[in-house]
Amino acid sequence: MKNNGFIQKHPIVKHLLWMLGLSVGIVIVVMLFVKIYSRHGQEYVMDDYAGMQYNDVVASNSLGLRFVITDSIFSEDTEGGTILTQDPPAGAMIKKGRKVYLTIAASDPEDVIMPDLIDMSLRQAVSQLMSEGLTIGKLDFVESQYRNAIQAQRIKGRTVAAGQKVSRGAVVDLTVGKGESDLGTIVPVVIGKNREGAQRAVFASSLNISESFNSGVTNKATAKAYKQEPICSDIKYPLGTIVRVWYCNANEYESQRRSADREIDSLKRVADSLRHALEDEGDEGDGFDFDFLDVDDMW
């Protein structure tokens, strides 16, 4: 009763209490609204869409995700509409309605203009072709005054003139000059590189490449090289020598690399045992040289 009498005698206190209560109520309502609007605490793990069909992903979208195609790349090895990359990546925490940016495989190759590679250096030609989205096929080396100068550019055996329209991804074979010296070339290190990096390194070294992909490789563009033959050494190989490269999925690289290292170590032990056995059987002065059993150079 005394309190009520006090409030009646001082109406300003009553108004202040009403304002305080109203302010607290507004704050509570705003916080609840923000919590609901931002879906606070409602996060989901981003699925891995790589290798899946775009239409299938859209049809099974239960989180209201908004898919945005940022690029499409043609590949003969990949069916059109296949998702190649995504952002956010698989495993990221997302909320409903999130935008997801995708790169997908195009159904048909687009046309590009064939560049003029004649008399260009091999290293420049490799960079030019890759930047245009063209594939380097085989390097054929011929007698020429200038080493590594491009002499001809062909697709499916036919000469292609500069400025002609060709399909993106088309395989271009190059005829390259040997130069006046018989000097060979050193094999580069490609272990740990993706496919483009491995190809660029091998071709720029005046060598050809033979590629093998482990079963289960879902995206050849992002696969990593875990083994090569021959390995990098001081040995110089003839121009055009084939370098064999094995690829695996990026997430399998470490285990595959360790397995390849164990394989090399095993071959080294076998070679060492064979060399020692041959040396024990022969005479030191018989003129035989067993250095050919050096696996470091063979592998």
- Whether 191 contacts 257, CB under 8 Å: yes
Reduced to 3 states, what is the DSSP secondary structure of residue 43?
Answer: coil
Is the same domain home to 225 and 275?
A: no
Is the same domain home to 143 and 269?
A: no
Name the residue range of residue 8's domain.
2-37
pLDDT of amino acid 56: 94
What percent of the chain is predicted at pLDDT more than 90? Answer: 49
Sequence-distant (≥ 6) Cβ neighbours of residue 148 within 8 angstroms? 121, 122, 123, 176, 177, 179, 206
Is the same domain home to 173 and 76?
A: no
Is the same domain home to 252 and 279?
A: no
Is the same domain home to 115 and 254?
A: yes
pLDDT band at 127 (very low <50, low <70, confident <90, very high): very high
Helix axes 11-37, 2-9, angle to 10 degrees: 90
Residue 276 has pLDDT above 90, yes or no: no
- Tally the domains of the chain: 4
Sequence-distant (≥ 6) Cβ neighbours of residue 107 within 8 angstroms? 74, 80, 81
Sequence-distant (≥ 6) Cβ neighbours of residue 46 within 8 angstroms? 86, 88, 89, 90, 91, 92, 93, 94, 100
* Distance between CA atoms of residues 252 and 246, nearest Å: 12
pLDDT band at 281 (very low <50, low <70, confident <90, very high): low
CATH of the domain at 155: 3.30.10.20
What is the tens place of the pLDDT at every residue in 192-233? 999 999 999 999 999 999 999 999 887 888 899 999 999 888
Is the same domain home to 254 and 269?
A: no
* Distance between CA atoms of residues 207 and 58, nearest Å: 44
pLDDT of amino acid 106: 85
* Distance between CA atoms of residues 161 and 163, nearest Å: 6
pLDDT band at 266 (very low <50, low <70, confident <90, very high): low
Is the same domain home to 175 and 272?
A: no
Q: Which residue has the higher pLDDT, 57 or 276?
A: 57
Residue 182 has pLDDT above 80, yes or no: no
Q: Which two tokens stand for residue 10?
A: 């001082």
DSSP 79: -
Largest CA distance in the chain: 126
Q: How many CA atoms lie within 13 A of 122 on its CB side?
A: 28
Q: Which residue carries 């590949």 as its tokens?
A: 75
- Cis peptide leading into residue 88 (ω within 30°): yes
Is the same domain home to 87 and 187?
A: no
pTM of the model: 0.60
**Lowest mean pLDDT segment, chosen from 15-24, 224-233, 248-257, 280-289:** 280-289
- Whether 114 contacts 153, CB under 8 Å: yes
Residue 299 has pLDDT above 50, yes or no: no
Is the same domain home to 174 and 255?
A: yes
Reduced to 3 states, what is the DSSP secondary structure of residue 83?
Answer: strand
Q: Which residue carries 């495993």 as its tokens?
A: 91
Helix axes 195-204, 122-131, angle to 10 degrees: 150
Is the same domain home to 26 and 155?
A: no
Q: H or E stretch including 155? A: strand 150-155
Is the same domain home to 235 and 286?
A: no
Is the same domain home to 241 and 287?
A: no
Tell me which residue of 136, 137, 115, 120 sits closest to 177, measured CA to CA.
120
**Mean pLDDT value of segment 25-54:** 78
